[in-house]
Amino acid sequence: MAAAGDRQALPLAHKTAIVTGAGQGLGRAIAIALAQAGAHVAVTHRRAAGAMAVAEEISACGGDAIGLELDVTETGCYQRVLDAAAEWGSGLDILVNCAGGMHPFTPFLEVDQATFDATLARNFKSAFFLSQAFAGMLVKAGRPGRIVNIASTAATKPDMQLAAYNAAKAALVQFGKSIAVELAPHAILVNTVAPGPVRTDNTRWIYDNPKWQAALRDKVPLGGPADAEDVAAAVLFLCGPGARHMTGSTVTVDGGFTCL
């Protein structure tokens, strides 16, 4: 990362970002990318140790980060975490809703209410109410900002036996469009990134399997899964000056997966 003096010229210098689900995988890559662009980054994860590890990784490379414990299914703790991040960073500018996750592959006729509720809570309800609290703080302060939601190509190209997850990600896309209109007068821009297959530490065992590699060559025009850093690059763009006239948009990062 850039030296302290050089960081002032970076595109996100003087901005404070909070990233959910940032203790691993996509969230970790996004937090690192934002820090490399000069942002102060509040790394959150459901396990404090995971958040702290990524924050320490960023700090060791010359970035500015803090680790905060946040279980996104516990809506009652949102304001406390946002307040802590705002106090540390002298305000908030960017929210990236990355926390989420699939439920086990389950036929629709066998999905129980507990699985449905848990999936919607992780992937949609959390982003809804965390964005509400975040935007409320910015509106009260008269401060512009950015919200980026991490959805999935499953929102438009659903996967078999993942009905609740597909529905949650589709809801997240439409939610972004809805609040983009309402928050535009406050200069709060809301966009969505929809990744396709992505290689992370958690999915590497799948995408490094020769059988999966062969299958993806037929399904992904660019020949394979994205890396987490590819998705992070899209998020970074949406948080930067180049996206100042974008709101309500969905950026797909899938190597052409949804084209077939």
Residue 90 annotated as catalytic: no
Residue 169 annotated as catalytic: yes
3 state DSSP class of 66: strand
3 state DSSP class of 17: strand
Report yes or no: 168 and 128 within 8 Å, Cβ to Cβ. Answer: no
- Report d(CA 51, CA 132) in Å as an integer: 23
Helix (H) or strand (E) holding 253: strand 250-253
Output the CA–CA distances (angstroms, integers) from residue 174 to 167, 181, 250, in the order listed: 11, 11, 10
DSSP state of 7: G
Task: Identify the active-site residue in 15, 78, 169, 211.
Answer: 169
Task: Identify the active-site residue in 90, 140, 165, 178.
Answer: 165
The residue type found at 241 is P
- Report d(CA 44, CA 258) in Å as an integer: 30
The DSSP bridge partners found for residue 149 are 97, 192
- Report d(CA 36, CA 122) in Å as an integer: 28
Task: Identify the active-site residue in 15, 126, 131, 152.
Answer: 152
| Catalytic site positions | 152, 165, 169
